[in-house]
């Protein structure tokens, strides 16, 4: 059963991030979480059996651009106190993906029935954090304006293997004017905990993307005049590496449906 909190506790400790988690837990919000709980860090999810956990932690360490690790749980514990009060990873993500032996098996709205005592939760930084910084700087983002999920693509960029984990990097893409792209590089470089600066600008075919209108995940982007594609490493990358590692069980978020933490975006920025 989900963790519960008394009304007095809810009122005393209310914050937008926790309220969003409770709405998700109660089935009141489905779909992507872009724009929910402004100011708070959202995270990508990867849950693995304990005998895969050390290898995946090493994979994150070797690939900090797509897999910036911001939190992890103890084996069998669905809570992550460093990331959120009363957080329950089994119920606090709008939609999950369950992989068995590397194959997508289900996309449930909670994973209470799938939870096991040997599962370890990893939370990775998400580009939704730097999206807020870009908007604050006056840089328009088409997917945010349209209430859509950012477009994501598989690339030909290799990750650094660690044990059974390897594969190609996934990227998220935003169309920008050249001037805004320069500013975006400067701004996102200050957020290494949520992917940092772009990994590529322009010429999508150079990183193995044939058609920007056919994303691997997310919504089709709107093409506007005088704009170029800018690509950031993406925390959906582990979902590609799972196909290589083939663990008996792996649980992730559905792309765009993130975990909302109690961490603040502004605290992730480096001087």
Mean pLDDT of the chain: 92
pTM summary value? 0.89
For 26-67, how does the pLDDT look when each residue is reduced to its tens digit (9 = 90+)?
999 998 898 889 999 999 999 999 999 999 999 999 999 999
In whole angstroms, give the CA distance from residue 248 to residue 22.
30
Topology adopted by domain 128-237: PSTPO5379-like fold (3.30.2040)
Residue 13 pLDDT class (50, 70, 90 cuts): low
Residue 2 pLDDT class (50, 70, 90 cuts): low
What are the residue boundaries of the structural domains of the chain, listed by start? 7-126+242-268, 128-237
- Calculate the alpha carbon distances from 109 to 67, 96, 112, 113, 224 in Å: 24, 6, 9, 11, 35
Whole-number percent of the chain with pLDDT over 70: 95
Is 50 exceeded by the pLDDT of residue 6?
no
Q: How far is CA 147 from the centre of its chain?
A: 17
The domain 7-126+242-268 is placed in CATH, from the list 3.90.340.10, 3.40.50.720, 3.40.1640.10, 3.40.50.150, at: 3.40.1640.10
């Amino acid at each position: 059963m989900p963790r519960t909190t008394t009304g007095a506790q809810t009122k005393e400790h209310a914050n937008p991030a926790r309220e969003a988690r409770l709405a998700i837990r109660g089935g009141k919000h489905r779909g992507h979480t872009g724009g929910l709980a402004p100011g708070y860090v959202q995270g990508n999810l990867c849950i693995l059996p304990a005998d895969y956990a050390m290898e995946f932690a090493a994979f994150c360490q070797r690939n900090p651009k797509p897999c910036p690790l911001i939190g992890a749980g103890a084996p069998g514990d669905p809570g992550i106190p460093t990331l959120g009060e009363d957080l329950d990873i089994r119920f606090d993500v709008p939609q999950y993906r369950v992989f068995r032996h590397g194959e997508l098996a289900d996309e449930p709205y909670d994973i209470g029935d799938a939870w096991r005592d040997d599962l370890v939760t990893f939370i990775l930084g998400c580009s939704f954090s730097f999206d807020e910084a870009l908007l604050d700087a006056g840089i328009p983002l088409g997917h945010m304006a349209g209430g859509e999920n950012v477009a994501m693509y598989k690339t030909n960029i290799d990750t650094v293997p660690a044990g059974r984990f390897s594969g190609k990097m996934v990227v998220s893409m935003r169309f920008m004017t050249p001037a805004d792209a320069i500013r975006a590089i400067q701004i996102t470089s200050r957020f290494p905990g949520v992917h940092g600066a772009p990994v590529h600008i322009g010429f999508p075919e150079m990183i193995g993307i044939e058609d920007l209108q056919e994303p691997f995940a997310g919504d089709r982007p709107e093409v506007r005049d005088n704009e170029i594609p800018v690509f950031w490493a993406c925390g959906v990358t582990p979902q590609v590496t799972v196909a290589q590692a083939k663990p008996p069980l792996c649980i992730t978020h559905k792309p765009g449906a993130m975990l909302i933490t109690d961490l603040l975006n502004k605290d992730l920025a480096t001087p």
